[in-house]
Chain A
């Protein structure tokens, strides 16, 4: 019997091209539906687990999906801006813990997430080195950012200008790295966290310059009259925030009018959640309060429906592939009639010849199955990265 298996194996090795084509066809036939299912299921689990841990999100009226993707996964597309006063208003209700989120800016492709220290407690993020940001201009970076940029505590990152030609727009800000987070397998690994006020400095809503009332700035003062000081462009504005000049930084206008993207709301119980949701039910101030898991479930329902159609299509293709492969094997038997006749004449039984043919088919299917399983495992391993690459498109 082992001789039949050996002959079958040698036949496949001798006809390399035919074997490779057969194995590749069957591998793809098995791999594609399996990978689709694994990718969709794992991505859905990853998406919903983060969404399930985020009870409520408040943002300006617009696409709920954009709001969720921006607030939870720091997606590149930005929802309409929300006034910081809305955050303060929510905070003063005392019905929930609230966390501001401003994800508008980037640094070398990594999202800059403007938030408060409450975010780290809420997500259970821990430091692998350094400390949390303590003042304006400091940042804490995710593990992937540290690895990708080869930076750590004491180094710095520079925010990217929104458009190259917008000279008067968003200023690049050099941000000192105060700490690096432990990896936690989420979008936080790829983010740069700063205080939300730092994003206002990046946006140009706040700045630091010499105190115009002090003698050091006298050469830059053009006029002092009736409590108004007019200065020329020589007044030193700081491009980097340091412990020495941080106290000179200030914001122009009421911070309540400054923008953020959204507010993560964490009510202590169902009653508070219901009260808050009722408050935003028919909000006339252009705001919405959403349950991220519901929004994602709606999205995933659509994805699963599409997935079912894709798998149906693949199943039909698989049937066609099986038919073609059966034809290939049948034609192959016809072409090998002389070979089987010779085997019979030198003493091989019909069972022996059947075993030989079955072993060839078996080797092809087993090889394809192993390959398809291996590829599926690879896809499962990188499912989160694949998902994140789609989200950051």
Chain B
């Protein structure tokens, strides 16, 4: 089950066969392979865990396309998750794959457990009915908790406790690193408050229902549609959108990613501006979590 049990002897065998490696190099490999393996379910959690753990643990974020909320782990991913010493979950229903993947419950860390009543129920739900069970829905709570920097701190604290539980000898180092991370998150929180202050009571439209915690923390008056940045939503969606604008006269639309030119042109006709606010849920092309947030802040300053 734990492939790392076999990895160390295999590496030692290869090193012995090569014959040239020094004993210090072998020792280094020995130390690194005995580090606890931590797997995170999205990029922010991976970033927080890596920042806190430093060299204490091997932190991994599996490669996944698109939004990690829609991740469907394959057999290799499942093997990786099962071999982990800790699997860091966002919680709040984010990891739908937990419904069908078998994992030891002892390695799971739900970082949203400590949030209590700060979790926000989803505004919309799709109810469907078929068969003898009657109506049912797949409703849940909103899950992009890390967009509220104060909730991100709660998650980081939970991660620190779990990592310190795995490597108690480094607890003080982890706590120092957590304090540094929290200070940066607090600074980000202030910057976001300042950036959103100008538009805090203006009607806004969100391209996807993923900004609930951002809106709640920074006092945004937004309503969500289900539009993809690179995909024309279609005539029906545009009609619904115009109706929405009549009751919610927004002049700004916040997107997860840069919208297509056609969409931008149509929005311009409606005298609307667009701003991209990346959720940072997946590994950024450049930089880290704070770099993505810095870009978001710069985008907010443009309109």
Contact = CB atoms under 8 A, between A and B. Distances in A.
A117 B100 contact: no
B100 A247 contact: yes
B100 A197 contact: yes
B132 to A, nearest CB: 6
Interface string A124-143: 00000001111110100000
Contacts of A138: 102
Majority DSSP secondary structure for residues of A touching B: mixed
Interface residues of A, number: 44
Contact of A117 (B82, B96, B127, B133): B82
A75 B135 CA distance: 36
B293 interface: no
B234 interface: no
Contacts of B100: 135-136, 197, 241, 246-247, 249
Contacts of B74: 243
A153 to B, nearest CB: 14
Given A228-B135, A229-B129, A92 B102 contact: no
Majority DSSP secondary structure for residues of B touching A: mixed
Contact of B105 (A116, A134, A249): A116
A220 interface: yes
B104 interface: yes
A132 B105 contact: no
Interface residues of B, number: 31
B136 interface: yes
A135 B78 contact: yes
B72 A247 contact: yes
Contacts of A209: 130
A227 B125 CA distance: 7
A284 to B, nearest CB: 24
B24 interface: no
A250 B100 CA distance: 8
A237 B78 CA distance: 25
Interface of A: 91-92, 97-100, 116-118, 120-121, 131-136, 138, 168, 195, 197, 206, 209, 212-213, 220, 227-233, 235, 237, 241, 243, 246-247, 249-253
Interface of B: 1, 72, 74-75, 78-79, 82, 96-97, 99-106, 113, 124-133, 135-136, 138
The 7 closest A-B pairs by CB, nearest first: A231-B130, A136-B100, A229-B128, A195-B102, A228-B127, A117-B104, A134-B78
